[in-house]
């Protein structure tokens, strides 16, 4: 028996007036998701606990059975690991955005128009960066999916106890980074980071890729804005924790990084953009091929498009993306035999909030020998009537392992 935890990132939502007071998932035409709900057991899930607004990072850590309060040191190292940078003790890693600032140094687009192409050539320029007072510190940038990038600082006397430069909204300048404790290390790291943000603008504002973007009326990726400082986390390998042979099929560096830290194999997919334009055919072919033909017995799958549409406040894109996933991906998942599938989200990204909320997400389980309940539609509202009731992310691994016949008996 194989197992799949399939996460539609940011899927959960709230009722919208534009959709007759339905959520995008309710309003979408999803015959395959509904078929799965009808054949399965349904419920709602708080990926951490009720009322806690999770990041995708802490939510996935929790769903994989780790306590984010212990394992999570910050988003940076997971993003870095996901783009293939090894993080060592002493290193401090950050998630960065390619953003756009105007001549007054005000952020006019936190995602530089969701830039997709040529960020590696901007990164090459950034990697020439030297900061005079800190020449002993190695500064490493690497691009990730879309507008996302990573910064790693390597050298003596650094700390992850520093605040974010990301103002989180447009119309403000990048935030001045401050030390979160009194240590000389935190003060040094904050000062260095402030200099890196300024220097990034000097280095890349006139990069040919950006001059070209300006010419085409696209927001230039003319600054790097870091957030989510973190030192190397200590993660027990998932395979030894649960006696599994596990793999991850994901689109974004963050999820791949969490999986890599958990010792999972990463299976990359051509054409996976992390957006609503992603190549769903390639994603589902990769899932089907590996579930049927590989030795992996457990898969974490993450597709990110619904979350991006949620952050952009675009209900049409979210609804259409859900319908595409239903048609291209879920239709095929229904064909799988001898496989337990848990399909859910890591958190809600309501259109009206344009960020994550603590609203619980729908969750359903499919496979043979499931106690089918009376729910026959997959959405946030119908799911509340299902047999799973309300669970937490930290319950997911225990439930799937049990249904896969892999759960050790507690007691004699
Ligand atoms: O898409 C992501 O990486 C995050 O979930 C949202 O981050 P952003 O607001 O920086 O795009
Ligand atoms: Mg997410």
Give the Cα separation of 74 and 65 in Å (integer). Answer: 18
Dig out the tokens for 397 from the structure: 């691994």
What was the pLDDT predicted at 221? 98
The string of DSSP codes covering 112-123 is GGG--S-HHHHH
Give the Cα separation of 165 and 195 in Å (integer). Answer: 11
Q: What is the CA radius of gyration of the chain?
A: 21
The string of DSSP codes covering 233-247 is -----HHHHHT--EE
Residue nearest to ligand 1 atom 11, measured at CA: 111
Helix axis angle for 119-126 and 184-204, nearest 10°, is: 120
Give the Cα separation of 78 and 86 in Å (integer). Answer: 10
The string of DSSP codes covering 219-274 is PP--EEEEEEEE-------HHHHHT--EEEE-SSHHHHHHHHHTTPEE---TT--S
Three-state DSSP class for 401?
helix
Residue nearest to ligand 1 atom 10, measured at CA: 97
- Ligand number, closest to the Cα atom of 54: 2
Is residue 161 within 6 Å of ligand 1 at its C-beta?
no
Give residue 164 CA to ligand 2 midpoint distance, Å: 19
Is residue 356 within 6 Å of ligand 1 at its C-beta?
no
- 150, 167, 163, 178: which is closest to 110 by C-alpha? 167
What was the pLDDT predicted at 69? 97
Give residue 403 CA to ligand 1 midpoint distance, Å: 34
Q: Distance from CA of residue 354 to its chain's centroid? A: 15
ipTM: 0.94
Is residue 97 within 6 Å of ligand 1 at its C-beta?
yes
Give the Cα separation of 357 and 348 in Å (integer). Answer: 6
Q: Is the pTM of this model over 0.90?
A: yes
Dig out the tokens for 88 from the structure: 């060592």
Is residue 75 within 6 Å of ligand 1 at its C-beta?
no
- Ligand number, closest to the Cα atom of 111: 1
Q: Distance from CA of residue 49 to its chain's centroid? A: 18
Give the Cα separation of 148 and 167 in Å (integer). Answer: 15
**Is the CB of residue 65 less than 8 Å from the CB of residue 241?**
yes
What was the pLDDT predicted at 325? 99
- 304, 302, 297, 303: which is closest to 238 by C-alpha? 297
Three-state DSSP class for 363?
strand
Give residue 276 CA to ligand 2 midpoint distance, Å: 14
Is residue 111 within 6 Å of ligand 1 at its C-beta?
yes
Q: Distance from CA of residue 71 to its chain's centroid? A: 16
Give residue 103 CA to ligand 2 midpoint distance, Å: 32
What was the pLDDT predicted at 276? 98
Domains of the chain: 2-72+234-403 (3.40.720.10), 80-230 (no CATH)
Is residue 311 within 6 Å of ligand 1 at its C-beta?
yes
What was the pLDDT predicted at 84? 94
Atom of ligand 1 nearest to the CA of 168: 9
Residue nearest to ligand 1 atom 1, measured at CA: 308
What was the pLDDT predicted at 112? 98
Atom of ligand 1 nearest to the CA of 10: 5
Give residue 115 CA to ligand 1 midpoint distance, Å: 13
* Separation of first and last alpha carbons in the chain: 24
What was the pLDDT predicted at 391? 98
The H-or-E segment that residue 198 falls in is helix 184-204
Give the Cα separation of 35 and 307 in Å (integer). Answer: 23
What was the pLDDT predicted at 118? 95
Pick from 112, 273, 307 the residue to mutate for probing ligand 1's pocket: most ligand atoms within 8 Å of its CB: 307
pLDDT tens per residue across all 412 residues of the chain? 999 999 999 999 999 999 999 999 999 999 999 999 999 999 999 999 999 999 999 999 999 999 999 999 999 999 999 999 999 999 999 999 999 999 999 999 999 999 999 999 999 999 999 999 999 999 999 999 999 999 999 999 999 999 999 999 999 999 999 999 999 999 999 999 999 999 999 999 999 999 999 999 999 999 999 999 999 999 999 999 999 999 999 999 999 999 999 999 999 999 999 999 999 999 999 999 999 999 999 999 999 999 999 999 999 999 999 999 999 999 999 999 999 999 999 999 999 999 999 999 999 999 999 999 999 999 999 999 999 999 999 999 999 999 999 999 999 8
Atom of ligand 1 nearest to the CA of 56: 5
Helix axis angle for 75-82 and 253-261, nearest 10°, is: 90
Residue nearest to ligand 1 atom 6, measured at CA: 311
């Amino acid at each position: 028996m194989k197992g799949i935890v399939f996460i539609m990132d940011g899927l959960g939502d709230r009722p919208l007036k534009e959709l007759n007071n339905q959520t995008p998932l309710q309003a979408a035409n999803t015959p395959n998701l509904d078929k799965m709900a009808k054949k399965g057991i349904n419920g709602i899930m708080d990926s951490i606990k009720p009322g806690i607004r999770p990041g995708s990072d802490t939510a996935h850590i929790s769903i994989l059975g780790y306590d984010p309060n212990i394992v999570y040191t910050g988003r940076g190292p997971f993003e870095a690991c996901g783009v293939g940078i090894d993080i060592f003790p002493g290193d401090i890693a950050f998630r960065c955005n390619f953003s756009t600032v105007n001549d007054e140094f005000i952020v006019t687009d936190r995602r530089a128009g969701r830039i997709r192409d040529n960020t590696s050539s901007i990164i090459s320029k950034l990697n020439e960066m030297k900061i005079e007072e800190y020449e002993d510190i190695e500064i490493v940038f690497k691009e990730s999916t879309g507008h996302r990038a990573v910064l790693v600082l390597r050298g003596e006397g650094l700390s992850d106890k520093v605040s974010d430069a990301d103002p989180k909204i447009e119309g403000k300048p990048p935030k001045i980074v401050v030390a979160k404790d009194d240590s000389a290390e935190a003060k040094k790291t904050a000062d260095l980071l402030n200099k890196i943000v300024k220097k990034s603008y000097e280095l890349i504002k006139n990069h040919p890729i950006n001059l070209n973007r300006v010419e085409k009326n696209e927001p230039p990726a003319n600054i790097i804005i870091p957030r989510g400082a973190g030192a190397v986390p200590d993660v027990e390998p998932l395979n030894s924790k649960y006696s599994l042979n596990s793999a991850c099929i994901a689109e974004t560096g963050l999820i791949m990084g969490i999986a890599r830290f958990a010792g999972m194999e990463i299976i990359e997919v051509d054409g996976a953009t992390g957006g609503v334009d992603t190549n769903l055919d390639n994603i589902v072919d990769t899932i089907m091929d590996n579930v049927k033909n590989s030795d992996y017995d457990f898969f974490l799958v993450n597709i990110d498009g619904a979350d991006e549409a949620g952050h952009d406040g675009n209900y049409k894109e979210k609804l259409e993306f859900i319908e595409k996933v239903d048609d291209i991906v879920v239709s095929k998942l229904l064909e799988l035999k001898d496989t337990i599938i848990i399909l859910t989200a890591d958190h809600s990204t309501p259109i009206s909030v344009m960020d994550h909320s603590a609203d619980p997400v729908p969750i359903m389980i499919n496979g043979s020998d499931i106690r089918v309940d009376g729910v026959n539609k997959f959405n946030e509202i119908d799911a509340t009537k299902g047999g799973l009731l309300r669970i937490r992310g930290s319950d997911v691994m225990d439930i799937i392992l049990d249904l896969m016949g892999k759960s050790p008996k507690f007691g004699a």
